Each structure stands twice: as C-alpha cells, then as structure tokens.
Amino acid sequence: MIPEFLSCLPAEIVHLIKGKSNVELFGVVSAAALCSYVVRKVFWTPFRLYFLAQYLPGLDLRKMGRWAVVTGATDGIGKEFARALASRGLDIVLISRSEEKLNTVKQEIIQDFQRTVKIIQADFMDTDIYDKIEKELSGMDIAVLVNNVGMAQTYVHFLETPNLHESNKDILSVNCLSMASMTGVVLPQMLERGRGVVINISSILSYMGSTHSSNYSATKAYNLVLSRNLSRTYKSRGVIIQSLTPGMIRTSLLNALIPSNDSVTKSAGV
Ligand SMILES: NC(=O)c1ccc[n+]([C@@H]2O[C@H](COP(=O)([O-])OP(=O)(O)OC[C@H]3O[C@@H](n4cnc5c(N)ncnc54)[C@H](OP(=O)(O)O)[C@@H]3O)[C@@H](O)[C@H]2O)c1
C-alpha cells in the first residue's frame, strides 16, 4: 500500500515501490539515502571543489563592494589573501600588530597591484580594540572580510603550557574573539547592502583535535562551527560565509605546531 503523499513521485518509482511491505520500503529508502550520501561526499564534493571549480567562472568580488579587510595580514596565509584579493581588483585593509610590517606589506601591494591600501594597527590579544576598528571601517563598502588572524601555543600537553592562564586568555582572544567581534563589526553593513563574503580560517585540526595542541585545535573547531552557524543564519540575505580548514602550510605559525627534536626522545622514554 503506497501512502497518498508518495503518489506525486514519478510513475517509475511508484512502480518500483508498489506492493512492497513497510520493512522493504524502509530498506529501499535507507539504501537510496546512503547511496546519495556516498555519491555526494565521495564523488560530487571533491569533483566540484578540486576539479570543476578551476573551470567555472569565479565570483566577481568587485560586484560585492570595494574593500577587502584581512586580519593577521602581514605574514603567512593572511598576507597571501591580501595579495590575492588585491589582484582580483579590491582595495585592501590590512589589520595586524606590527606597524613596520603593515607598512612593508602595504607598499608591496601598492607596487604590485596598484590598489589603495589602508592599515590598522591592532593587537588581537587586547579585547578593547573593536570600537577603534569599527570607527576606522565605518562607511567603507566592504566586499570581503577574511578572519585569518591566529596563534598557536607551544606543542605540549595542556598543563605543561608555559604561563597557562595568560596563554589561555591570549589564544581565545586571538583565535576566537577576533572572529566573532570582527564579524560583528562588518556583517551588519554587508546585510544592509545584501552582499558580501566572509572567509573564516579554521584548520584541519578542528576535525581531528590534538592532545599536544588542545586549545589550538579547540579554537579552530570554534571557528568552523561559528562559520557554519552564521552561514545558515545569513545565507538567504546575500552574504556568503565560508570556513577554510587548511592542513599544514609552511608559515611561522607552523613552528609552534610541530614537535621539537627532543619530543622524539621524550616519547621513547629516553
Ligand atoms: N600554517 C598552517 O599550517 C595553518 C594550518 C591551518 C590553519 N592555519 C590558520 O591560518 C591562520 C594564519 O596562520 P599562518 O600560518 O599564516 O600564521 P603566521 O604566518 O604566523 O601569520 C600570522 C599573522 O597574524 C598576525 N598576528 C599574530 N598574532 C597577532 C595578534 N595578536 N594581533 C594582531 N596580529 C597578529 C601576524 O602578525 P605578526 O607578524 O606581527 O606576528 C601575522 O601577520 C591562522 O588562523 C591559523 O590558525 C594555519
């Protein structure tokens, strides 16, 4: 007996499930759901991300606005984002803590891409910087926000972290509070205009966790979950919110995340 609401299905499918018992129907539906999950996760998503994406026309970011704001923009991944966004025709706001490095990256971007660059010096370990940043960004037509700034603690077990209490405060401020607060500063004006892109940098450790980088991997899980939640909340209002979960990338942060030489002898009990 086919329930009435299934009668809207194509005739071929109705024919397939006609006369089946509830248990058989349950089996057919479960198998179909499992197949569609496997096809999506194992074939379609990697095919779309790693193959199809390079041939599809990318988003025209200039249609999203004039400026891209990048936190932690003077080194590593943040600097590369700033340069890549400048090469796509956006003017850039660099936010980082070293004024000297900010000026160097600013000059490099002006020279290489002929874009306008504004710098904001701020230390994300401080929690009272956001009013100043909000004032500096006020009235700017921001297309893209890259929440990139991040730090890692020494590669040790949680209780062996030097200056544990201070270090906990710092990593939560830099890796988590920065993302929530910067998004709180920029997202309202993106929603008002009905366009914008927010890119949040998480890490592969957000899925795996790590006994030697407990706090770091937990902050990266925060980044991932916050992104997913915000994406679900604001997708329908024209703002794209994505997170990236990179594996190892050769930057200065990586040095804190990889074990030192003596950790090998220590773990061998020598
Ligand atoms: N590298 C990897 O393997 C890897 C893997 C997965 C995810 N990630 C994530 O990618 C992001 C960038 O990492 P990265 O490897 O590119 O790091 P990085 O090379 O160490 O660069 C970090 C940037 O953030 C700035 N910064 C650090 N602490 C700051 C603070 N308290 N206030 C203001 N600016 C600060 C640094 O400026 P200064 O030069 O002045 O310190 C620098 O510009 C992080 O969120 C990280 O968790 C990295």
Domain spans of the chain? 4-52, 58-257
Cα–Cα dist 242/200, whole Å: 6
Catalytic residue (one of 55, 130, 155, 216)? 216
3-state secondary structure 7-45: HHCCHHHHHHHCCCCHHHHHHHHHHHHHHHHHHHHHHHH
pLDDT at position 267? 73
| DSSP line for 86-113 | HHTT-EEEEEES-HHHHHHHHHHHHHHH
How many whole angstroms from 148 Cα to the centroid of ligand 1? Answer: 7
Give 242-255 pLDDT, tens digit per residue.
999 999 999 999 88
pLDDT at position 256? 77
Going by alpha carbons, the residue nearest to atom 34 of ligand 1 is: 96
In this structure, the number of other CB atoms found within 10 A of the CB of residue 261 comes to 7
Give 5-16 pLDDT, tens digit per residue.
666 777 777 777
pLDDT at position 1? 52
How many whole angstroms from 89 Cα to the centroid of ligand 1? Answer: 24
**Residue with token string 């190892």:** 248
Main-chain phi, psi angles of 10, to 5 degrees? -55, 150
Cα–Cα dist 146/73, whole Å: 9
The alpha carbon torsion through 247, 251, 255, 258 (nearest 10 deg) reads: 10
Under the banding of pLDDT at 50, 70 and 90, the label for residue 268 is confident
Cα–Cα dist 10/13, whole Å: 6
**Residue with token string 């701020």:** 122
Q: Please state, in angstroms and as integers, the Cα–Cα distance from residue 176 to each residue in 10, 23, 50, 156, 173, following that order.
A: 49, 47, 29, 21, 6
Pocket of ligand 1 (CB under 6 A): 72-78, 96-98, 101, 123-125, 148-151, 174, 201, 203, 246, 248-249, 251-254
Q: What is the mean pLDDT of the chain?
A: 92
One-letter identity of residue 80: E
Strand pairing of 91-96 and 196-201? unpaired
Give 113-140 pLDDT, tens digit per residue.
999 999 999 999 999 999 999 999 999 9
Best mutation site among 97, 98, 172 for ligand 1, i.e. most ligand atoms within 8 A of its Cβ?
97
Q: How many CA atoms lie within 13 A of 16 on its CB side?
A: 11
Q: How buried is residue 143: exposed, middle or buried, by Cβ count under 10 Å (0-12/13-18/19+)?
A: buried
The token pair at 37 is: 């999950």
Residue 207 annotated among the catalytic residues of the structure:
no
How many whole angstroms from 96 Cα to the centroid of ligand 1? Answer: 10
55-59, 178-182, 248-252: range with highest mean pLDDT? 178-182
Strand pairing of 142-147 and 239-244? unpaired
* Closest ligand 1 atom number to CA of residue 75: 43
One-letter identity of residue 5: F
**Residue with token string 């009668």:** 7
Going by alpha carbons, the residue nearest to atom 25 of ligand 1 is: 72
How many whole angstroms from 34 Cα to the centroid of ligand 1? Answer: 39
CATH superfamily, region 58-257: NAD(P)-binding Rossmann-like Domain (3.40.50.720)
Cα–Cα dist 221/34, whole Å: 27
Under the banding of pLDDT at 50, 70 and 90, the label for residue 262 is confident
* Closest ligand 1 atom number to CA of residue 248: 3
